[in-house]
Amino acid sequence: GGVAGALVIAASAAAGISRVLPRWFVYAGYVVGVVCLGAVPAAKAGAPQTLLWFAWVLAAGVVALRRARVSGETGVRTALATS
């Protein structure tokens, strides 16, 4: 829970700075990260924060792929084309 929350907050901050993901999704990541961090004491009671983290990671991948497809740019193709 705690590591997953820290990972989501860090990934959201990086995505917000680089503008890879939409702003609304970055803010949702901050919320998910705080919830995961706050759920650490409740982990022994069976809180489903891991499922919330997994759903955010899966959604981040889908949003990033859809955003790259809509804008017509992919980092791999751009990097290969310029080298």
Coil, strand or helix: which one is 20? coil
Residue predicted with more confidence, 42 or 81: 42
Position 10 scores a pLDDT of: 93
Amino acid at 31: V
- Rounded Cα distance between 12 and 29, Å, is 6
* Kind plus residue range of the DSSP H or E element containing 65: helix 49-71
Q: What is the pTM of this model?
A: 0.70
Instruction: For residue 31, give the DSSP letter.
Output: H
- Confidence grade of residue 83 (pLDDT, cut at 50, 70, 90): very low
Query: What are 13's two structure tokens?
Result: 């901050």
Position 21 scores a pLDDT of: 87
